[in-house]
Each structure stands twice: as C-alpha cells, then as structure tokens.
Amino acid sequence: MADMKIRGRELGLPFAGTAGRFNAITDVTGVEVGTVTLVEGDHIRTGVTALLPRGRSKAHIPCAAGSFSFNGNGEMTGLAWIEEAGELQTPITITNTASCGVTRDATLQWLLKNKIGTGQDWGLPVAAETYDGDLNDINGFHVTAAHTMQALDNACGGAVELGSIGGGTGMITYDFKAGNGSASRLVEIDGETFTLGIFVQSNFGKREDFTVLGVPVGRHILHDQLRGKDQGSIIAIIATDAPLQSHQLKRLARRVPMGMARTGTIGTNSSGDIFLAFSTANENSFGSVRRSADYISNAAIDGLFRAVVEGTEEAILDSMICNETMVGRDGNISIALPLDELMDVMKRYGR
C-alpha cells in the first residue's frame, strides 16, 4: 500500500523520536495491514482494516498481548480471553460500529477457509469499531464478510496508506476529516534496538481542544465544523518486537491516553477509547508446552512507554494531515485540516 500523501514530518512538524523506515506499524517485522474502502454514491463512506500480527505465513502463531480500555463507550471483541490467557491468537479487524460483528465472524471464516488455527476448533477474533454515521449510511450495513476476507487477503507489509482508507474512511477527529494513522519509533535497550509501531482508527475530539505539539491550533481554526461537539472514539493497536510479557504489554496500552492528551482531548464520556498491544518476540516459545522466553525487565521499558506516547500523538495527527475534505450522507461535509492555516498558526507560536 503506497502512501503518497504528505505527512506531518514532511510539513516540518518537529516530532520527537526516531521513526522506522515507513514510520508505520509495519516497521515491526512481520506485521501486515490490509484494507477495503467503500465509497459509493452519496451515502456510503466506510470500510474495513485488517492487521495480521505475524503476517499471513505465521498467522497461526499467537503473540503475547495486553489491552486497556480508557473509556468503554465502544467495542473490541476478544479482550476477555486476551486478559485471561495473555495471548493474541487471531488477526485484528477495525470497522464501523454497525459492522463490528460482521468482521469478527468473517475473520473466523477466513481462518477456517485458509486452514489457519492454533490447534483448536474455535476462535475469539479481535474486532474493533468506531462510529462513522456522520458521513456514512451506517445502518445500511454495507461492510460484508466478503469485504473483510478481502482485506485479510490484501494484507501486506511496507508503507501503510493513511487517512480516509479502510475502516477509517468515514471518521472525523477534532472535527476535521480523519481516519487511519500510523507511526513507529526505534528504541534502544541495553545496546539492542527494538521497533514499536502504532496504528490508530481516529474518530474523536472537540475542535476547540485540538493541539499540535503544544500549540492550541483548534482555537484558531474554528470554521466549518460538522459535529460541533466531542463525539466518536479511537482504537489503537501497538506492535513491538521487544520481548515483553502480557502484563508489560498492558502497561504499554495504558500509555496511549497520554499521547491522545497531547493532541488536546480530555477523554469524554462519548468516546470509546480501547487499546491493544502485542509483541512478535519469542515466536518459538508459543509452540511448546513448557515455554522458555526472554523478557525485558520492568525497569528497562521507559523508552517503550515514551515511544507509545510519541507515536500515538503522531499517528493521530497524521490521520488528519493525510486527508481530504469528504462529502457524505445527507450532504454532510467534513473538511480536511487546512495545512496552510495549520502551519501559519504553528509559525505564530514559534514552532
């Protein structure tokens, strides 16, 4: 998936930290992302995004995982078993609120069709959602099982297309057109460099709260608001090749709200903010009854915490920067973040 859109770093925004080659979750070796985007007529603006933690060839191998719900006004299926077992055993799909069940069930169909399993004849797929009903005919149930399986089949590594793509097609953030965002960071621990990647489906925030690298941009760009209030949700997926236990991955997931806060939100009642973190390390240990694996100590993971916070902030902002104005259901218009106005405000604040 070639990402041809300008990103925040290319605009000159001084994001902290060192990004990987693609500045995306796919910088973690093995992670693959696939999308299907549905833009039809004047009312369908939706889609589905699929993430394969170890890629197609190793989809049968679980990953250590942990999750965190900052605000539960949303859905991510499969978390009860991840909390219990400390493992992610399936691909991840992200779509709109009304299609979450469809993509969950279709993931099972895809696993069965491709004879991918973990030695059991059942599964509890991870499927997540945010609301796109301002621009999409959400109750038309336009995302199908076939679309989901196509996204899973299309999943690949490399550059990730951002913005109004896949599940992020109809999403809005701080009352600007948003959707999919991603970023990565390289983190050195004890002389070894690890990669941490973030993927967000971003759909939250009130315009007046919008902040870019400490600058209150939203207060200066108040025109053309569609929602006019804080509404929506955010799903974040964290991947890393650093060897971590499930409770440590839960700790990573808990840092996502700090990255969100940097963009201005207070975390309102209406926002479903649910996050999942997994590690692709210790691959060989998941195929044995008695497991032996390496892990980073708790005292050494602050760099990964920082990577989550910085990466989340950048991914959210890029979900808006890599976008265009969209006209959707009932003629509703969600404007793109005007980059000239953004950079003018940043310069006025010395950034």
pLDDT digits (tens, 9 = 90+) for 132-169: 999 999 999 999 999 999 999 999 999 999 999 999 99
Q: And the tokens for 178?
A: 């948003």
Count of other CB atoms within 10 angstroms of residue 59: 22
pLDDT (mean) for 194-215: 98
CA distance 53 to 17: 23
Instruction: Report residue 286's pLDDT band, with 50, 70 and 90 as the boundaries.
Output: confident
Identify the three-state secondary structure at position 255: coil
The domain limits of the chain are 8-348
Amino acid at 287: G
Residue with more model confidence, 262 or 2: 262
Catalytic residues: 233, 271, 273
What's the confidence (pLDDT) of residue 2?
A: 47
Q: Is the pLDDT of residue 172 over 80?
A: yes
pLDDT digits (tens, 9 = 90+) for 178-192: 999 999 999 999 999
pLDDT (mean) for 200-212: 98
CA distance 192 to 195: 10
Contact between 100 and 127 (Cβ < 8 Å): yes
CA distance 147 to 53: 19
What's the confidence (pLDDT) of residue 146?
A: 98
**With the CA atoms of 315, 93, 304 and 234 taken in that order, what torsion angle do they form, in degrees rounded to the nearest 10?**
50
Mean pLDDT of the chain: 96
pLDDT (mean) for 8-31: 97
CA 47 to centroid of chain Cα atoms: 14
Amino acid at 332: N
What's the confidence (pLDDT) of residue 289?
A: 78
What's the confidence (pLDDT) of residue 4?
A: 63
| Residue 284 neighbours by CB under 8 Å, 6+ apart | none
pLDDT (mean) for 295-315: 97
pLDDT digits (tens, 9 = 90+) for 81-130: 999 999 999 999 999 999 999 999 999 999 999 998 755 667 899 999 99
Instruction: Report residue 287's pLDDT band, with 50, 70 and 90 as the boundaries.
Output: confident
CA distance 22 to 27: 6
Strands 180-189 and 192-203: antiparallel
Is residue 164 left, alpha or beta, with left meaning phi > 0 and alpha meaning psi from -120 to 50?
beta
Instruction: Report residue 1's pLDDT band, with 50, 70 and 90 as the boundaries.
Output: very low
Strands 63-72 and 87-88: antiparallel
What's the confidence (pLDDT) of residue 165?
A: 98
Contact between 180 and 199 (Cβ < 8 Å): yes
| Residue 252 neighbours by CB under 8 Å, 6+ apart | 66, 196, 238, 240, 244, 277, 301, 304, 305, 308
Contact between 198 and 312 (Cβ < 8 Å): yes
Domain range 8-348, CATH architecture: 4-Layer Sandwich (3.60)
What's the confidence (pLDDT) of residue 178?
A: 98
Q: Is the pLDDT of residue 322 over 90?
A: yes
What's the confidence (pLDDT) of residue 231?
A: 86
